[in-house]
Structure 1
Amino acid sequence: MSKRTFLITSVLGASLTFGSALAQDTIAGIVSKDPQFSTLLAALKAAGLDKTLAGTGPFTVFAPTNAAFAKIPKATLTALLKNKAGLTKVLTYHVVSGKVMAADVMKMTTAKTLEGSALKVSVMGKTVEINNAKVIKADVAASNGVVHVIDTVLMPMMK
């Protein structure tokens, strides 16, 4: 995997290095090849969304790591993985239509998800948060959009 350095000094006051996958990989391909997303991949497959994220897009995915999923109580996660409708709601809450790069995210206060609700976007110094999740890696380029890695699973209001 190659590394690229993006200078976002005008907004952050520092240069940051973001890892990037080869642009020919789809979002689904990036998730399937990175072991830190094995729980996300299992959830996408259980909901049948892995094929969607292999499609044309473009999509922006706020992708929780395995460590993010580990914050959810095991019984809750197990139940969620067995509830396709609830799982689909949670996963589509992590997806925004279009390719929204970090520089664009930093200018936003909200972002409408495919689930239908809005995410709260806040920038505090060098930290970008989506609801209560910190973006820990941004701008992982995909052929059908972009992935921003987050440290917490985003949970929509369940009805």
Structure 2
Amino acid sequence: MALSRTGFTTAVAAAAVAIPLSIGGLAPAANAQSSSPSPTPTSTNSAGIFGPGCSSLPTTGAGSAAVMAKQKVVAAATGNPLLSTLVSYVNRAKLANTLDTSNNITLFAPTNAAWQKLSSSQRTTLVNNPTQLKKALEYHVVQQHVTKAELPNGSFTTLEGSKLTTSGSGTSFKVNNTANIVCGNIPTANATVYLVDTVLMPPS
């Protein structure tokens, strides 16, 4: 049925009002979607970061989740004050280029406090033996993106070649039943980082 001029004008006006209203109605849903679940390694969204130690991360500037998400993993760790010992050991073992040129890896990163749990003689032995140091560091790297959903009953092959396991639930997880994940699921440009409170040692 043909519309009269008056009916046609009214219909156009109604459509013009309806379109922006419908767009406005969709906006909250789109925003909710973009701020929800766990981030990918290249995401700048920190919503998926969890753990009791996350409050120790800087909230702005170098070392903050937002800045780390834009950097390769070693550069991201360099800006994080909790990981200065790890970074110095990575550089000493000449492992930085390997980590920064790998994609979608996961780093179980011992904090400075974790390294302090080792005796001074253990740390000296590692520092003076670059081959052993490199092997120990490679044991903290998994060559895939490990998600939080995989942590409750995880088993992963490390860059060193041996397996490590993860267990737990909620926001409380362990690696090899010894190291607690104090802050996890931190995205960087090429990796996901889980801060751990104990240095992991590969099977002898």
TM-score between both structures, scaled by the size of structure 2: 0.66
**Cα distance, 1:7–1:21 mapped onto 2, change above 3 Å:** closer
How far off is 1:42 after superposition? 0.8
**Per residue, is there more helix in 1 or in 2?**
2
Equivalent pair of 1:25/1:143 in contact (CA under 8 Å):
yes
How far off is 1:104 after superposition? 2.7
- Give runs of aligned pairs for residues 89-128 of structure 1, distance below 5 A: 89-106=135-152, 108-124=153-169, 126-128=171-173
Alpha-carbon distance between aligned partners in 2 of 1:44 and 1:92, rounded to the nearest angstrom: 9
2:72 paired residue among 16, 23, 26: 26
How far off is 1:20 after superposition? 2.3
Equivalent pair of 1:20/1:139 in contact (CA under 8 Å):
no
How far off is 1:157 after superposition? 2.0
Equivalent position SS for 1:121: strand
TM-score between both structures, scaled by the size of structure 1: 0.84
- Give runs of aligned pairs for residues 9-158 of structure 1, distance below 5 A: 20-22=65-67, 23-106=69-152, 108-124=153-169, 126-131=171-176, 132-158=178-204
**Per residue, is there more strand in 1 or in 2?**
1
Alpha-carbon distance between aligned partners in 1 of 2:99 and 2:118, rounded to the nearest angstrom: 24
Query: Where in structure 2 are there 5+ consecutive unaligned residues?
Result: 1-43, 58-63
Alpha-carbon distance between aligned partners in 2 of 1:7 and 1:96, rounded to the nearest angstrom: 18
What RMSD, in angstroms, separates the aligned Cα atoms of the two structures? Answer: 2.4
Aligned to 2:18: none
Alpha-carbon distance between aligned partners in 2 of 1:111 and 1:45, rounded to the nearest angstrom: 24
Equivalent pair of 1:32/1:41 in contact (CA under 8 Å):
yes
Aligned structure 1 segments of 4 or more residues deviating by more than 6 angstroms: 16-19
Alpha-carbon distance between aligned partners in 2 of 1:60 and 1:66, rounded to the nearest angstrom: 19
Query: Where in structure 1 are there 5+ consecutive unaligned residues?
Result: 9-15
How far off is 1:124 after superposition? 4.9
Instruction: Tell me the number of residue pairs that the alignment of Structure 1 and Structure 2 aligns.
Output: 149
Higher Cα radius of gyration: 2
Alpha-carbon distance between aligned partners in 1 of 2:75 and 2:195, rounded to the nearest angstrom: 15
Equivalent pair of 2:151/2:168 in contact (CA under 8 Å):
no
| Letter paired with 1:141 | P
Aligned to 2:24: none
Equivalent pair of 2:110/2:198 in contact (CA under 8 Å):
yes
